[in-house]
Amino acid sequence: MKKVRILSLLSVTALVTTVLVSVPVAANAAPACDGKSPIQSCVGATSDGAPYAMQVPANFNGTVALYSHGYRYNVDIPAAIPLIGGYKVTNTPEPVPGGNADVAKYLFSQGIAIVGSGFARQGWNPDSAIKTNVELIDTFKKQFPKTTKVIAWGSSLGGVITQGLAEKYPNLVSAVAPMCMADNVEPELTMAGDFLWGIKVLFDPTIKAGNYSAGAAGVAESYADLGKVFTVMGKLQGGISSGAWPDTSSATGKSLAAAGVPVRSALLLLGLMSGLPTQSAHFDSISGPDGALKLSFPLAVSPALAILENGTNAAALAILATQDVEMQAGGAIFDNTKTDYAARVDAERVIFNAALSGNTVIDAMLGALSAANPGAPRAVANPAAVAKMRALHTNTGKINVPTVLMVGVADPITPAGASQRLVDLYAAQYAAEKAAAFKAYQTTRDYKSPTNKLLMLWNRTPSSYTTFASTGAPITTTPAAQGTNHCNFTSAQLVLVAKSLVQASSTGKLPSGGALNTAVRKAGNLSVDKGFSAPLLKYYGDN
């Protein structure tokens, strides 16, 4: 099989959202507005120095849409680092997702203003970001006293911020939409950390993989890890077709290679035990090229290639976000001393038995990764640092206002399981509300059914989408399939979310029934199937 280019596989730069406007103003001053029509633009900075931007249509109807952007690296990335080098830290505001003109046009057409902050701190920042948003809402209302309603939405880490705002300050917002929402910091970094640990243990033991030094030294160590991980992933890409293990493999990895364990099976196991999706931007784990590989490719090869794509993203997240959170917490925060990776893959070892090369190979790989093997040393966290990490903002999952969730079912950065967790928690919340309503009815004889406050939009992958050249090689230069990559939404899908928020803020009710089904169908590649359930992050099975 011809090698695919790792450059075409990587989507980690989707972590860094595009921006809309520049804001060079003093903190805590009144907004500076240009007074233009039909769209008036205002800029300013909150008391913590976070720049913001407001855009208000001449037909402003009293509703403002507050958008929270996703995770942005909190350090510059040197140009010499492959794939993501040249990134510069930015705190530029983003009042609509990615500066999407179609979304802004729709909101303006409804008389709705838009506002967004660049936040005072980049990296993992829900604590400060929520405070910034609370102040920004107040600032907007003072500048535009006609304001009556606030709808809030955000993507990725911005989804965490949006959900947190609705949990802590439900009186400030009338409807919210956490899109492609990250999980809380510990589950999120456990997923990424498990995969990075596996890459280190099997394929390059010189990767530090956390417990970075303080200050500039730790930043340099994270840069070195990025380079090593991208190099290893490139070697694994070649090894999936050739069978060769990376020349940097550890003694444990070389022992598995000597025993005949295919490197593709080892890579797949790391992805499965971490909880990464086995569908990716270009690999559906269903399709095969015409000819001899028609059946064997999707069965044995495609899942590993999907993990290669998704795992490159997860490993980069593990390095950059772990170094960031360690800096905030004051020490190592990833710990797998008690993780049972064999239990983690009880179901997957059956489903992917052929791709994992059978039970004998699976048992050998799990044995190599077990805590009993001194050649696979576990990561040990600093208890004080873990306590500080856990003291960072954590969402409970309580739904207080009409809420729209949207996520790709194969998002490798913020897995669909983070949204599924809220779906499950709300099912229990709604059942409790119904029980309370029935109990009240027994006294008052007036039954008031609770109003549904959650709409879940699943961005589904196509039934098949891997394509092949005439030689049988998979094509990876096409755009990422819907439902894959990070926050990979179309303008039509984003506008649907915006319309749902507008309706909910106006009527107090989310769209439902035939009208919703029609809108979802027109938006494309979305589903409201209540029978679909995404797996929770592996962290929840460990605790």
Domain harbouring 467, CATH code: 3.40.50.1820
The pLDDT score that the predictor gives to residue 25 is 56
Q: Are 427 and 477 in contact (CB under 8 A)?
A: no
Residues 6+ apart with CB under 8 A from 320: 73, 75, 222, 226
pLDDT tens digits, residue range 10-52? Answer: 333 333 333 344 444 567 778 999 999 999 999 999 999 999 9
**Per-residue tokens: 497:** 């979310």
Tell me: do 406 and 419 sit in the same domain. Answer: yes
Tell me: do 156 and 227 sit in the same domain. Answer: no
The pLDDT score that the predictor gives to residue 83 is 81
The pLDDT score that the predictor gives to residue 114 is 98
Element housing 272 (H / E): helix 263-274
The pairing of beta strand 149-155 with beta strand 113-117: unpaired
pLDDT (average), residues 422-439: 96
pLDDT at 501 over 90: yes
Total Cβ atoms within 10 A of residue 293: 17
Q: With bands split at pLDDT 50, 70 and 90, how would you rate the model's confidence at 241?
A: confident
Percent of the chain exceeding pLDDT 90 equals 90
Q: What is the dihedral angle through the alpha carbons of 336, 320, 235, 252, rounded to the nearest 10 degrees?
A: -20
In the DSSP assignment, the letter for residue 142 is H
Residue 375 within any structural domain of the chain: yes
Q: Are 304 and 240 in contact (CB under 8 A)?
A: yes
Rounded CA-CA distance 193/324 in Å is: 13
Q: What share of the chain is helix, strand, coil (3-state, %, to 5)?
A: 45, 10, 45
Tell me: do 344 and 371 sit in the same domain. Answer: yes
Order of strands across the sheet that contains 454-459: 32-33, 39-45, 51-57, 113-117, 63-68, 149-155, 175-179, 403-408, 454-459, 526-527
Tell me: do 332 and 197 sit in the same domain. Answer: yes
The pLDDT score that the predictor gives to residue 26 is 65
Residue 468: phi and psi, rounded to 5, are -135, 145
The residue among 256, 318, 247, 304 whose CA lies nearest residue 9 is: 304
Residue 409, SS3?
A: coil
Residues 6+ apart with CB under 8 A from 403: 163, 166, 175, 176, 177, 178, 422, 453, 454, 455
What rounded mean pLDDT belongs to the chain? 94
Residue type, 516: L
pLDDT (average), residues 207-215: 97
Rounded CA-CA distance 56/41 in Å is: 6
Residue 3 within any structural domain of the chain: no
Residues 6+ apart with CB under 8 A from 172: 134, 137, 150, 165
Residue ending a domain, choose from 390, 422, 437: 390
pLDDT at 159 over 90: yes
Rounded CA-CA distance 217/205 in Å is: 19
The pLDDT score that the predictor gives to residue 28 is 75
Residue 114 within any structural domain of the chain: yes
Rounded CA-CA distance 464/467 in Å is: 9
The residue among 327, 445, 450, 301 whose CA lies nearest residue 382 is: 327
* Residue 271 belongs to domain spanning: 186-390
Q: With bands split at pLDDT 50, 70 and 90, how would you rate the model's confidence at 3?
A: very low
Q: Are 249 and 259 in contact (CB under 8 A)?
A: no
Residue ending a domain, choose from 390, 412, 432: 390
Buried b (16+ CB within 10 A) or exposed e, 387-420: ebbeebbbbebebbbbbbbbbbbbbbbbbbbbbb
Residue 2 within any structural domain of the chain: no
pLDDT tens digits, residue range 286-314? Answer: 999 999 999 999 999 999 999 999 999 88
Q: CA 326 → CA 30, 322, 333, 383, 390, distances in Å?
A: 36, 6, 6, 12, 12
In sequence order, the β-bridge partners of residue 56 are: 40
Rounded CA-CA distance 502/255 in Å is: 59
Tell me: do 499 and 442 sit in the same domain. Answer: yes
Tell me: do 417 and 321 sit in the same domain. Answer: no
Cis check for the bond before 38: say yes or no (omega within 30 of 0). yes
**Per-residue tokens: 72:** 């942005």
Q: Are 68 and 161 in contact (CB under 8 A)?
A: yes
The pLDDT score that the predictor gives to residue 503 is 98
Tell me: do 88 and 31 sit in the same domain. Answer: yes
The pLDDT score that the predictor gives to residue 29 is 77
The pLDDT score that the predictor gives to residue 191 is 96
pLDDT tens digits, residue range 175-188? Answer: 999 999 999 999 99
Residue 1 within any structural domain of the chain: no
Q: With bands split at pLDDT 50, 70 and 90, how would you rate the model's confidence at 1?
A: very low
The beta strand positions in 230-372, using DSSP E, are none
Tell me: do 90 and 234 sit in the same domain. Answer: no
Higher pLDDT, 288 or 85: 288
* Backbone Cα Rg of the chain: 24
Tell me: do 180 and 140 sit in the same domain. Answer: yes
Rounded CA-CA distance 439/426 in Å is: 20
Residue 363 within any structural domain of the chain: yes
Residue ending a domain, choose from 390, 414, 440: 390
The pLDDT score that the predictor gives to residue 172 is 98
Rounded CA-CA distance 240/509 in Å is: 50
Residue 5 within any structural domain of the chain: no
**Per-residue tokens: 417:** 């399981």
pLDDT (average), residues 352-372: 98
**Per-residue tokens: 253:** 């990895």
Per DSSP, the residues of 289-324 read -SSTTTTHIIIIIHHHHHHHHHHHHHHHHHHHHHHH
Tell me: do 144 and 246 sit in the same domain. Answer: no
Q: Are 168 and 155 in contact (CB under 8 A)?
A: no
Tell me: do 452 and 514 sit in the same domain. Answer: yes
pLDDT at 9 over 50: no
Percent of the chain exceeding pLDDT 70 equals 95
pTM attached to this predicted model: 0.94
Residue 4 within any structural domain of the chain: no
Q: Are 102 and 497 in contact (CB under 8 A)?
A: no
Least confident range from 84-88, 218-222, 406-410: namely 84-88
Q: What is the 3-state secondary structure (H, E, C) of 433-474?
A: HHHHHHHHHHHHCCCCCCCCCEEEEEECCCCCCCCECCCCCE
HSE value, Cβ hemisphere, 13 Å, CA-based, for 29? 12
pLDDT at 144 over 70: yes
Element housing 137 (H / E): helix 126-143
Task: Please give the tally of structural domains in the chain.
Answer: 2
Tell me: do 130 and 195 sit in the same domain. Answer: no
pLDDT tens digits, residue range 185-205? Answer: 999 999 999 999 999 999 999
**Per-residue tokens: 288:** 């095969």
pLDDT at 4 over 70: no
Angle at 181 between CA 176 and CA 185, to 5 degrees: 120
